[in-house]
Structure 1
């Protein structure tokens, strides 16, 4: 190695140490455009789960893919739940029990839209996360009687960040998405 690159490497090292000494903050992930988080800990959730925009990353981290897309005609959809059994029962903002994907009807791929916490109902008081009470309890086969909390941090939900169903999520293509007018009865 020549002597010439060493001063450059020393300058980079000095710059790094100086920025740390001056209290430079690490880069923080930002919410998607037009999306404000109603609680500061949702930023932690976003930072911890952003890597799951890649479906393969979620599967590699232990989230089990499902092939059932959840939608209620009057309410909207949730999408496909990828569940990590080890995270069921946790209320850690960085460890949701499920990541939710919705079909992109233009590309045919699944896109990350939300995350969900699942806590078994053992007779305890209703869990709270992000200063928001969980929904339920409800029976969800095969998990059992549980409380759930959704957070729509990747796809805006006009009904609210913590609302279970998103009217903008559809399991089947909508006529409007294909440039067609809906058929009237």
Structure 2
């Protein structure tokens, strides 16, 4: 299954020219139930990135806000990518290249849902992080050939922590229009 990184590349392009500051109140992050993480280093990642539940904290740390929400009608969504160009190439668990937000359809605010690492493909072996291979390689501008890895540690992904798309993330509110013929109508996603 392809990770379809085309929207990330659009987000990176926007990141190069867009920088918006939002006044957002700091939020308190809630750790996964029982501090259960798919890999021990994810706890370190969570501790280093939980402050990004505040969009303003992400912006203050160099993540550039975008207004393109990534969703695939069959796979689910990724949300909005806030990209820190200084972290492209990082395999440091505490320095993801992107923090991902999804719309909360009740409040209208964006909520932190996942993180993404992006490593340019320079002919090196496939990168690994959290004992997991990166997806790819992909070849899209402006990054060019690269690998990527998602970590869904702020919103449960029933497809897995490291799966690129989350079927519980939607850019637009769930409606009857999203249901396929002869399928039950979807319920609104809940954390």
Using the size of structure 1 for normalisation, the TM-score is 0.78
Structure 1 pair 109/143, CA: closer, same or farther in 2 (3 Å)? Answer: same
> After TM superposition, what 4+ stretches of structure 1 lie above 3 angstroms from structure 2?
180-185
Q: 1:175: how far off?
A: 2.0
Structure-2 separation of matches of 1:181 and 1:101: 21
Two-structure CA RMSD over aligned residues (Å): 2.1
When the two structures are aligned, how many residues end up with a matched partner?
154
Q: Indicate the residue corresponding to 2:171 in structure 1.
A: 171
Q: Tell me what 1:162 maps to.
A: 162
Mapping of residues 45-84 of structure 1, within 5 Å: 45-84=45-84
Deviations 1:92-116 (A, max 9, x none): 0000010000011111110000001
Residue 86 of structure 2: SS of its match in structure 1? Answer: helix
Unaligned runs of 5+ in 2: 1-28, 183-191
Cα separation, 2, equivalents of 1:80 and 1:128: 24
Alignment partners' CA distance in 1, 2:60 and 2:147 = 26
Q: Residues 135-150 of structure 1: matches in 2 within 5 Å? A: 135-150=135-150
- Equivalent-residue separation in structure 2 for 1:146 and 1:183 (angstroms): 34
> How far, CA to CA, are the matches of 2:144 and 2:118 in structure 1?
10
Q: Does the Cα contact within 8 Å between 1:31 and 1:37 map onto a contact in 2? A: no
Aligned to 2:94: 94
- CA shift, 1:139, in A, is 2.2
Deviation for aligned residue 1:38? 1.2
Report the CA distance between 1:46 and its aligned residue: 0.2
d(CA) in 1 for partners of 2:179 and 2:161? 28
Q: Any gaps of 5 or more consecutive residues in structure 1?
A: 1-28
Q: Quote the residue 2:19 is aligned against.
A: none
1:95-110 maps to which residues of 2 (within 5 A)?
95-110=95-110
- Aligned-partner Cα distance in 1 for 2:173–2:35: 24
